[in-house]
Amino acid sequence: MSDDGDHKLRVSKIRSGTVIDHVPGGQALNVLAILGIDGSKGEEISVGMNVPSDRFARKDIVKVEGRELSQDEVDVLSLIAPDATINIVRDYDVIEKHRVERPDVVEGVLSCPNAGCISTGDEPVSSTFEVFDDAVRCSYCGTIVREEIASLIDT
């Protein structure tokens, strides 16, 4: 920032794609994992981590060129970034902006940490979790997870 109060753009604009803003500080890499982005496919991404925020002390921001998120991706994203804002950009203009909404249930996107759960065995059962404000609960065994939800995400 200069002395005259002008702000410096920390992450460049994208032509078209998705901007995920207001991600909790330190979660950008988990966002990339959810989206299956590891750089191996030549994706053009911009990431700002722990940047100053008016709404939070610090936030992350992820910009993905040439890709708009599916509702399933937004639902999973909401588990680790419940206050995130999704901006759809076309020709450098934001054409759609909305906050993520947590679904009541997510299916097939988390692995139950309980090794004895039917969803972790050889049975053809897809994991199902009820989603709460501060936790998720396995619908099969009742295991509740409050911390490290990102580590349970199937990518």
Binding residues for Zn(2+): 112, 117, 138, 141
Task: With beta carbons less than 8 A apart as the criterion, state whether 23 and 81 touch.
Answer: yes
Give the start-end residues of each E strand in the chain.
17-24, 45-52, 58-65, 85-90, 93-99, 105-107, 128-131, 136-138, 144-145
Nearest to 30 by CA among 99, 85, 77: 77
- Structural tokens at position 148: 């490290």
Task: With beta carbons less than 8 A apart as the criterion, state whether 61 and 31 touch.
Answer: no
Q: What's the rounded Cα separation, in Å, for the pair 152 and 34?
A: 11
